[in-house]
Amino acid sequence: MLCYDKKINESLHGKGNKVVLMKKSVEKARILIESLPYIRKFSGKTFVIKYGGAAMVDDNLKDAFAQDIVLLNLIGIKPVIVHGGGPKINAIMEKMGKKPTFVQGQRVTDEETVDIVEMVLGGLINKQIVSLINNHGGLAVGLSGKDGNLIEARKKVIKKLSPETGVPEIIDLGLVGEVKKVNPRILTSIDASGFIPVIAPISAGQNSKTLNINADYVAGEIAASLKAEKLILLTDVEGIKDKKDTLLSSVSLKKIKTLIANKTISGGMLPKVQACKVALDGKVGKTHIVDGRVPHALLLEIFTEEGIGTEIVR
């Protein structure tokens, strides 16, 4: 009798497993079907993706990012990656006894620092990203703003109101640049050859001096020059939040001005929203600030109805 009961239980257990497996398979199929309209809509379109933050540090997130990029490419979307590398630059600077300094979310860059920036961004990190994508079956190629005269840059100067006088003061950030012009010809050639460009945000200014350019700004300018369908910025926060710490799923450019004025948006978020404005002014379809700490954040943003993060629209 005990032997008979055992056989029945084993049979039921086996059927239970099959039901569970079947449900999982149906759920996978449902997800694929849900993504079909987006695949159809975006195939052949260009997405500019700013890659930064924790997604560049955690090994699992790095793998998930590379897989997402390869998948996008295989279904016909044309990803263009602009990467940062702030944490790695900071770590190397500190090892050399230099303290990183930021003003309005941008790194103050002297002669020694710009050498570190070029070494880390244009060499170490750029090639790591290229290798990671290639290891997952993609065909990536590394570039900087110097290659093919991709980015024409000039020295950037910012102004800040003096708390004592209320008069704007010029702040010298050192060898920090801003995009003067993007020449996308090299990107067009790379795209025609089926490669995925991975761009380090450095270029040369007057007298061929290397300039460190904020990666968010570079991504926004490149998206505008390519008339991309989307600009997606990966960051280490959920998105833009209001004063009550509630995530704003969609924000207009008009609302962005208000959020900056009342200091809801400040610090490192400023370059991101300004990059989104540049992109939208350049006729980019939509811009997104997405939490890169979420595995496969790109796929969740692009291929699901709910999406994640904050969408900034005209």
Q: Residue 4: its pLDDT value, please? A: 47
Answer whether residue 277 shows pLDDT above 70: yes
The rounded distance, in Å, linking the Cα atoms of 287 and 44 is 18
For residue 81, name the pLDDT band (cuts at 50, 70, 90): very high
Q: Residue 16: its pLDDT value, please? A: 62
Q: Residue 287: its pLDDT value, please? A: 96
Q: Residue 13: its pLDDT value, please? A: 54
For residue 203, name the pLDDT band (cuts at 50, 70, 90): very high
Nearest alpha-carbon partner for 298 in 121, 50, 126, 24: 50
Q: Residue 223: its pLDDT value, please? A: 98
Domain boundaries defined on the chain: 47-302
Task: Read off the DSSP letter of residue 196.
Answer: E
Averaged over 51-70, what is the pLDDT? 92
For residue 190, name the pLDDT band (cuts at 50, 70, 90): very high
The rounded distance, in Å, linking the Cα atoms of 20 and 284 is 43
The predicted-structure confidence for 221-274, as pLDDT tens digits, reads as follows: 999 999 999 999 999 999 999 888 999 999 999 999 999 999 999 888 998 999
Q: Residue 294: its pLDDT value, please? A: 93
CA distances from 1 to 6, 11, 208 (A): 9, 15, 88
User: Sign of the C-alpha dihedral, residues 310, 311, 312, 314?
Assistant: negative
Answer whether residue 8 shows pLDDT above 50: no
Q: Residue 23: its pLDDT value, please? A: 74
The rounded distance, in Å, linking the Cα atoms of 50 and 215 is 7
The rounded distance, in Å, linking the Cα atoms of 146 and 202 is 7
Q: Residue 15: its pLDDT value, please? A: 60
Q: Residue 102: its pLDDT value, please? A: 84
Answer whether residue 82 shows pLDDT above 90: yes
Q: What is the CATH architecture assignment of 47-302?
A: 3-Layer(aba) Sandwich (3.40)
What is the rounded average pLDDT for all residues in the chain? 88
Answer whether residue 12 shows pLDDT above 50: no
pTM for this model (two decimals): 0.87
Averaged over 57-83, what is the pLDDT? 95
pLDDT above 90 covers what percent of the chain?
A: 60
| Cβ neighbours for 247, distance < 8 A, ≥ 6 positions apart | 238, 239, 240, 241, 310
